[in-house]
Amino acid sequence: MEKSAEHIVVNDKVIMLKMDKGLDSEEHKHFGACGGNITAFNGTLISPNYPHYYPPNTNCVWRIMVPDPNFQFRIQFPTLKLEGVQPDCEKDWISVNGIRYCGEHDRTVVVPSASSTLTVKFHTDASVSSVGFRAEYSSFNPAGECQGMHTCGDGRCELMSNKCDGWVHCKDRSDELNCVCTSDQFRCQNNMCKPLIWVCDGVDDCEDMSDEANCDCAAGFFACHRNSCMPISALCDGNIDCPHGMDEADCEKIDVNCTTNTYKCADGKCIVKPNAECDKVQDCLDLSDELDCDCGNQLAIRRRIVNGNDAVIGEWPWQVSLHFATLGHTCGATLINNWWLLSASHCFQNAESYRYSDRQLWTVYIGMHSLTFTDSGIERRLIKRMIIHEQFDNITMDYDIALLELSAPVRYTSYIQPVCLPSPLHVFPANQRCYVTGWGLLQEGGRLPVILQKGEVRIINQTTCNNFMGNILTSRMLCAGYLTGEVDACEGDSGGPLVCEELSGKWFQAGIVSWGQGCGRYGHPGVYTRITKFREWIHRNIGIDGNT
């Protein structure tokens, strides 16, 4: 058996013919069969009736063997929705080589098996049922598949230089496990190594909070944020060292030279404080930093659902759904004031049979949560004026920004609020947790949701992202998501927002969903239009005199 993927597929097809039953997933779906003995290098298992609810009182056993004993299996679950609660899983469960899994998982669960056989059991009790599972199993040769490279649990090969560098590259995190930390790294409680400079920076990089624990500051250090420590010399030095720029806040340095680390007041004076706008502290002598701050407020909700996918009603009150002709939801947008929406230029480019550039063919829904129109308080508008950025390039996707003027203004409610637009110098630091929201496809090539979806993504450093993407990003673009894929925007989310919460509790829009190679793919995070580059353009076009 050779190592190339093509061979695996070819062999797989040959070997699939030898299966005990007609065990291709389609046949399971059609005949309701479940379980059986399989000899294959890779394949797919689904629960009976998938993607519809599985039947009660079901027991299935699959025994899977890889034809080459030098190979090992891994199995991953792109969908796993079973009644029950981990770890007991007393209701419905699936087990892989004796370990049970149940409940709802909104990210792929990867189970390395370290063995050339897989025994997968599926059990359901007599009570409530759910969507079930879709499992993809594949095999790899741990001895030689990734010569000179690291083999991830899902078989991907990763450069050795990516191993133990603090960034997770493999979906199963195996490139960051069992590392010997270097002198400039911190050893997390879970044994991952992270750069020392990430310790006590307010971001849970270890994912077990160990890099953010015990952050009481020693002499000569000050607390940045959530007890994180920095040398005193970093205070008010004009450089942003702490998350949210806390080390440059309250420095009382007004009328300093305007640089990339300063905020410019309406009177032209600069202050050494990043993200000073609308932070509920009056910094500029002319008070301009706290003017026009009726934005970015979540009025209808008190807390968010952790790790949920469905948004809570009123959680993203600036989110707008743009419906094209008879196609229904087609793009997202955000409300930036009573009259204007922000969206992506590429949503309004004509396609073969659709005149997307015709403003009269669009309908705008504001205050929407479910595409079924069941919520009260939805405002419907037409588009009076469409402003596409004059430098939009539909090949490179540069300048992917558009403004839409509403046919009539909207009144703000708990469910309809504008988002805050960041000043050109607003900093969204790498690793900051932000949210992308929209009614886009749930998976690449998948279906559209009915309820507004939210996904937590992290801002990715521009240089890191550009390296990954082959240097095709411009300075008007920003990456967010995960280099390993997983949470991402997709078709239909375009034009919608990437928003980040500031310490003041206000939400600022960092990006507009623009493009990406596929959705949630490994090494291809979502690319967004970088809003800080456009506040002056936005203000010029909607008739507000910008101060920057």
Contact 521, 443 (CB under 8 A): no
Q: Does 479 bind ligand 4AZ (CB under 6 A)?
A: no
User: Which CB, 148 or 445, lies closer to ligand 4AZ?
Assistant: 445
Residue 333 and residue 359: Cα distance in Å, rounded?
A: 14
Site map (CB under 6 A) of ligand 4AZ, residues 5-24, x = contact: --------------------
491 binds ligand 4AZ (CB under 6 A): yes
**Token output for 435:** 């949210």
For position 172 contacting ligand 4AZ by CB under 6 A, the verdict is no
CA angle centred on 520, ends 440 and 110, rounded to 5°: 125
| Using rule CB under 6 A, residue 345 touches ligand 4AZ | no
With binding defined as CB under 6 A, does residue 510 bind ligand 4AZ? Answer: no
Q: Is 210 a catalytic residue?
A: no
C-alpha to C-alpha distance for 459 and 440, rounded to whole angstroms: 20
Among 110, 179, 490, 510, binds ligand 4AZ (CB under 6 A): 490
Let me know: does 295 contact 506? Beta carbons within 8 Å. yes
Contact with ligand 4AZ (CB under 6 A) among 489, 499, 531, 538: 489
Distances (CA, A) of 530 to 398, 462, 513, 539: 10, 11, 10, 15
Secondary structure class of 12 (helix, strand, coil): helix
In this complex, which beta carbon is closest to ligand 4AZ, that of residue 417 or of residue 529?
529
Find the residue with minimal CB distance to ligand 4AZ. Answer: 516
Q: Which stretch binds ligand 4AZ (CB under 6 A): 7-15, 373-381, 414-422, 509-517?
A: 509-517
Q: What one-character-per-residue DSSP string does 286-316 give?
A: T-GGGSS---S---S-S-PPTT-SBPPTTSS
CB 19 within 8 A of CB 42: no
Known catalytic residue: 494? yes
Do residues 429 and 345 make contact, with C-beta atoms less than 8 angstroms apart? no
Distance CA 150, CA 163 (A): 7
The verdict on 526 binding ligand 4AZ (CB under 6 A) reads: yes
- Closest CB to ligand 4AZ among residues 245, 485: 485
User: Which residue among the candidates 154, 172, 241, 400 is catalytic per the annotation?
Assistant: 400
Nearer to ligand 4AZ by C-beta: 71 or 522?
522
Query: Can residue 516 be called a binding residue for ligand 4AZ (CB under 6 A)?
Result: yes
Active-site residue identified among 138, 174, 321, 494: 494
DSSP assignment of 140-160? E-TTTTTTTSEEPTTS-EE-G
Nearest distance from residue 527's CB to ligand 4AZ, in Å?
7
What is the spatial distance between Cα 356 and Cα 150, in angstroms, rounded to a whole number?
Answer: 46
Contact status: 468 vs ligand 4AZ (CB under 6 A): no
Q: Smallest distance, Å, CB 402 to ligand 4AZ?
A: 14
Q: Does 473 bind ligand 4AZ (CB under 6 A)?
A: no
At residue 538, the 3 state secondary structure works out as helix
Interface with ligand 4AZ includes 515 (CB under 6 A)? yes
Would you count residue 478 as binding ligand 4AZ (CB under 6 A)?
no
- 494 is a contact residue toward ligand 4AZ (CB under 6 A): yes
Binding-residue total with ligand 4AZ (CB under 6 A): 11
Q: Determine if 513 is a binding residue for ligand 4AZ (CB under 6 A).
A: yes
Q: How far apart are the C-alpha atoms of 452 and 402, rounded to whole Å? A: 22
Contact 249, 273 (CB under 8 A): yes
Active site residues: 346, 400, 494
Q: Which residues bind ligand 4AZ (CB under 6 A)?
A: 488-491, 493-494, 513, 515-516, 519, 526
